[in-house]
């Protein structure tokens, strides 16, 4: 996707992977709205970006993605402020197996809502110009992971992405929907996960066996790949210290015999 002059909305963008993704999008010439509940970090990041990329290209919007009205209001503000919307990165997430309903709300329910809003504002059938949605899942959504509710939310995001990325939907909306699945990356989420001790110990072990931590720029390379590969729709990209690979290209039973898929009818 060519991003010069386009408009992006990134949730959970005050810090961590969301901030890294937002900066990569700015570097490619787009304007970016940063949504987050962390007002001080969000304002600081926006001020930083304004200095580097221009005050007219970045704005912070205080938004709890789990509050339906706030998320809807934030999408409307972005369109009012920048005059359109072309790219949504549904990134905000937490790991909390104690307050597990909250984990589902932030990581899955809000991503469903973010996708619906993205389609509402970018979908051609609604008067939009088409666009791209990138959902932040995790390797925990692809393989067994010691925190089951977190893993469920991330697997849910994979299923959501694949299904919204079906060709017949693209034909109508011209909005591609893809997911990024990183492994352990150095951000604040690792510092203090609200998980029982056995889960924590098991994660430490997995981290060691998996080859260690990635850094934010490693994951941003995955975002860049999804931005560059305009033919990808419903794609799920695993990003680990071992490299990147797409997941789940196998045909379902309905396509297995012919080995064919319906061609995309329209590329945004």
Cβ contacts of 27 within 8 Å, gap of 6 or more? 53
- Identify residues 122-151 at the interface with ligand LSZI444Z (CB under 6 A): 138-140, 145
Q: DSSP character for 96?
A: B
Indicate the SS3 state at residue 107: helix
Q: Does 183 bind ligand LSZI444Z (CB under 6 A)?
A: yes
Q: Does 78 bind ligand NAD (CB under 6 A)?
A: no
Q: Does 22 bind ligand NAD (CB under 6 A)?
A: no
The catalytically annotated residue of 150, 168, 200, 246 is 150
Picking from 255, 184, 194, 224, the residue whose alpha carbon sits closest to that of residue 87 is 224
Binding mask 89-118 for ligand NAD (x = CB under 6 A): --xxxx-----------x------------
Cβ contacts of 104 within 8 Å, gap of 6 or more? 149, 152, 153
**Closer residue to ligand LSZI444Z, CB minimum distance, 47 or 98:** 98
Q: Are 4 and 85 in contact (CB under 8 A)?
A: no
Binding mask 126-165 for ligand NAD (x = CB under 6 A): ----------x-x---------------------------
233: exposed, middle or buried (Cβ count in 10 Å: 0-12, 13-18, 19+): buried
Q: Which of 17, 24, 32, 33 binds ligand NAD (CB under 6 A)?
A: 17
Q: Does 43 bind ligand NAD (CB under 6 A)?
A: no
Q: Does 182 bind ligand NAD (CB under 6 A)?
A: yes
Instruction: Return the exposure string of 21-32: e unless at least 16 CB atoms fall within 10 Å of the residue's CB, then b.
Output: bbbbbbebebbb
Picking from 128, 149, 148, 145, the residue whose alpha carbon sits closest to that of residue 182 is 145
Active site amino acids: 150
The residues of the shown chain that bind ligand LSZI444Z, judged by CB under 6 A, are 95, 138-140, 145, 183-184, 186, 189-190, 193, 200, 203-204, 206-207
The residues of the shown chain that bind ligand NAD, judged by CB under 6 A, are 11-12, 14-18, 36-38, 63-66, 91-94, 106, 136, 138, 182, 184-185, 187-190
């Amino acid at each position: 996707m060519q991003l010069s002059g386009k408009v992006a909305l990134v949730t959970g963008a005050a810090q961590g992977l969301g901030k890294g993704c937002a900066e990569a999008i700015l570097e490619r010439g787009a304007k970016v709205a940063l949504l987050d509940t962390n007002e001080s970090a969000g304002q600081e990041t926006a001020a930083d970006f304004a200095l580097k990329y221009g005050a007219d290209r970045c704005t912070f919007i205080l938004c709890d993605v789990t509050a339906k009205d706030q998320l809807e209001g934030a999408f409307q503000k972005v369109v009012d402020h920048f005059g359109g919307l072309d790219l949504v990165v549904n990134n905000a997430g937490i790991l909390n197996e104690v307050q597990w309903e909250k984990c589902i709300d932030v990581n899955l329910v809000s991503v469903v809502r973010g996708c619906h809003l993205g389609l509402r504002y970018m979908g051609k059938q609604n008067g939009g110009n088409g666009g791209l949605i990138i959902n932040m899942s995790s390797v925990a959504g692809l393989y067994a992971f010691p925190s089951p509710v977190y893993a469920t939310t991330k697997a849910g995001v994979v299923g959501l992405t694949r299904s919204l990325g079906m060709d017949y939907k693209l034909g109508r909306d011209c909005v591609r929907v893809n997911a990024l699945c990183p492994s352990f990356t150095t951000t604040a989420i690792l510092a203090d996960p609200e998980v029982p001790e056995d889960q924590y110990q098991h994660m430490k072990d997995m981290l060691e066996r998996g080859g260690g931590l990635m850094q934010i720029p490693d994951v941003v390379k995955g975002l860049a790949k999804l931005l560059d590969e305009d033919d990808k729709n419903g794609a799920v990209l695993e990003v680990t210290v071992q490299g990147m690979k797409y997941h789940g290209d196998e045909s379902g039973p309905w396509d297995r015999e012919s080995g064919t898929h319906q061609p995309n009818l329209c590329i945004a």
